[in-house]
């Protein structure tokens, strides 16, 4: 056992857990959100002090137990936070969220891809693959951010809802990019099989429906089934273990058949959060999941910071800064404004409409999913001997990692400022 996972690695893991627990009280003292503190703690213990190897951080994040702590942490966070989704608000903001998650993600992938191509000289198809990888926004960042920076519920639900549901679209675009360059890859086996049966464009539509509708229906069914069974046989103190086991089961089954599990996980959490009878055992379950969610987020952000090496920071920091600035201040607004205008085409645009749209366009940090997806091009290129992916895969990976890091730090720091500029009625203080 120790040969596979040496004792030094356990010390690394314990250090990450301790630092994660320390970050919240530190952030409260400083009256800032904890996310930049977690990321900088990761940078300090990783590339600066070398207390944790960047190689080990990447392994923990992307490959531990076959899926990586990053992906498993995302599963826990999505399930926990979907408890708090307000179905009434979701229904009222459905068209905006749907437009941001389709039109917005596609525009982001295309424009970000062009930006990457211009800055690096990469082929356009490689640029599109990079754009697809960084197109999903990050609920892991937004959810704790909106606990500290208060905005109206409808705006926070739009942004969090967008981030919860845009992962499948981003994954589909990545699948299309890889399928065009490596059609025999096992990662896109389902999509490639569909294109052999029906033509390319119908395959995209059917693949999207499968990725969204199938897991959503299963997740809803599981959520209502657990509520029904609990009323009949009373799980009581075992409710937490039951639901955590079912969520991991959903993740495992859908991952094994190349379908994104996130809609199922979100659907189960939303049903449980909105339709359970809120007795003491359901409250304990929710409190446990919230604690586990915070721990998962802390580990994720520390690992993101500690995944860099000094040579990567020196070689690619300027490219990372340029990509982040263009993604945040050019690409994101170009994607958000058309998406919202399409969704609200039949609504009158009041005076504050464009201020709300501006706020939404400036808040969209990248996170766990882009980091996990960024490793795919090089891995697929090596496995199937695809020269273009082997050549550009490492640059895609490190560029995506920098975009995630800088967008998280930049947007968590300036969100309270732009909230006061564009949404002054939402409150003038950050929650302590």
Report pLDDT for 33: 65
Report pLDDT for 242: 84
- Is CATH 2.120.10.30 the right assignment for the domain spanning 7-426? no
Per-residue pLDDT of the chain (432 residues; tens, 9 = 90+): 445 556 667 788 888 888 887 877 777 776 666 777 888 888 888 888 888 888 888 788 776 766 778 778 888 888 887 877 778 878 888 899 999 999 999 999 999 999 999 999 999 999 999 999 999 998 877 877 887 888 888 898 899 889 888 877 888 888 888 888 888 777 777 787 888 888 777 888 888 888 888 999 999 999 999 888 888 887 777 778 888 899 999 999 998 887 888 889 989 988 988 887 766 776 777 777 777 777 887 888 888 888 878 887 888 889 999 999 999 999 999 999 999 999 887 776 655 788 899 999 999 888 778 887 887 888 888 888 899 998 998 899 889 988 988 898 898 889 999 999 988 776 544 443
Report pLDDT for 4: 56
- Return the DSSP state at 78: H
Closest CA to 142 of 357, 411, 332, 334: 411
Report pLDDT for 1: 45
Q: What share of the chain is helix, strand, coil (3-state, %, to 5)?
A: 80, 0, 20
Q: 0.85 cut: is pTM over it?
A: no
Domain coordinates in residue numbering, the chain: 7-426
Report pLDDT for 429: 44
Report pLDDT for 318: 93
- b/e sequence 73-109, b meaning 16+ C-beta within 10 Å: bbbbbbbbbbbbbbeebbeebebbbbbbbbbbbbbbb
Report pLDDT for 349: 61
**Contact criterion met (CB below 8 Å) for 129 and 396:** yes
Report pLDDT for 26: 76
């Amino acid at each position: 056992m120790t040969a596979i996972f040496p004792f030094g690695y356990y010390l690394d893991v314990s250090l990450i857990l301790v630092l994660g627990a320390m970050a919240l009280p530190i952030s409260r003292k400083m009256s800032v959100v904890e996310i930049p503190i977690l990321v900088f703690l990761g940078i300090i213990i990783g590339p600066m002090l070398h207390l944790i190897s960047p190689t080990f951080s990447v392994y923990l994040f992307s490959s531990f137990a076959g899926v990586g702590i990053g992906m498993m942490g995302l599963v826990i966070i999505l399930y926990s936070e979907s408890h708090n989704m307000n179905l009434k608000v979701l229904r009222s903001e459905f068209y905006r969220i749907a437009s941001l998650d389709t039109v917005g993600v596609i525009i982001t992938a295309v424009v970000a891809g062009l930006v990457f191509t211009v800055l690096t000289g990469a082929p356009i198809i490689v640029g599109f693959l990079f754009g697809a990888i960084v197109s999903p926004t990050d609920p892991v960042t937004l959810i704790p951010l909106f606990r500290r920076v208060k905005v109206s519920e409808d705006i926070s639900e739009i942004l969090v809802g967008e981030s919860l549901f845009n992962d499948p679209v981003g994954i589909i675009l990545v699948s299309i990019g890889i399928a065009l360059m490596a059609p025999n890859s096992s990662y896109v086996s389902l999509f490639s099989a569909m294109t052999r049966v029906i033509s390319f464009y119908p395959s995209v539509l059917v693949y999207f429906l499968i990725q969204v509708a199938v897991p959503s229906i299963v997740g809803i069914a599981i959520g209502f089934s657990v509520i029904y069974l609990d009323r009949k046989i009373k799980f009581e103190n075992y409710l937490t273990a039951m639901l955590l086991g079912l969520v991991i089961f959903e993740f495992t089954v859908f991952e094994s058949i190349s379908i994104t599990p996130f809609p199922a996980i979100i659907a189960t959490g939303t049903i449980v959060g909105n339709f359970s009878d809120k007795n003491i055992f359901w409250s304990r379950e929710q409190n446990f999941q919230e604690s586990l969610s915070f721990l998962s987020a802390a580990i994720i952000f520390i690992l993101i910071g500690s995944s860099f090496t000094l040579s990567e920071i020196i070689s690619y920091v300027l490219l990372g800064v340029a990509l982040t600035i263009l993604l945040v201040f050019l690409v994101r607004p170009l994607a958000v404004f058309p998406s919202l205008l399409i969704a609200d085409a039949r609504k009158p645009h009041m005076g504050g409409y464009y201020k709300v749209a501006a706020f939404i366009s400036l808040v969209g940090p990248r996170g766990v999913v882009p980091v996990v997806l960024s490793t795919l091009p090089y891995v697929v290129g090596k496995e199937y001997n695809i020269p273009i992916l082997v050549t550009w895969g490492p640059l895609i990976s490190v560029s995506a990692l920098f975009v995630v890091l800088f967008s998280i730090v930049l947007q968590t720091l300036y969100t309270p400022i732009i909230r006061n500029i564009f949404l002054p009625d939402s409150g003038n203080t950050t929650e302590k």
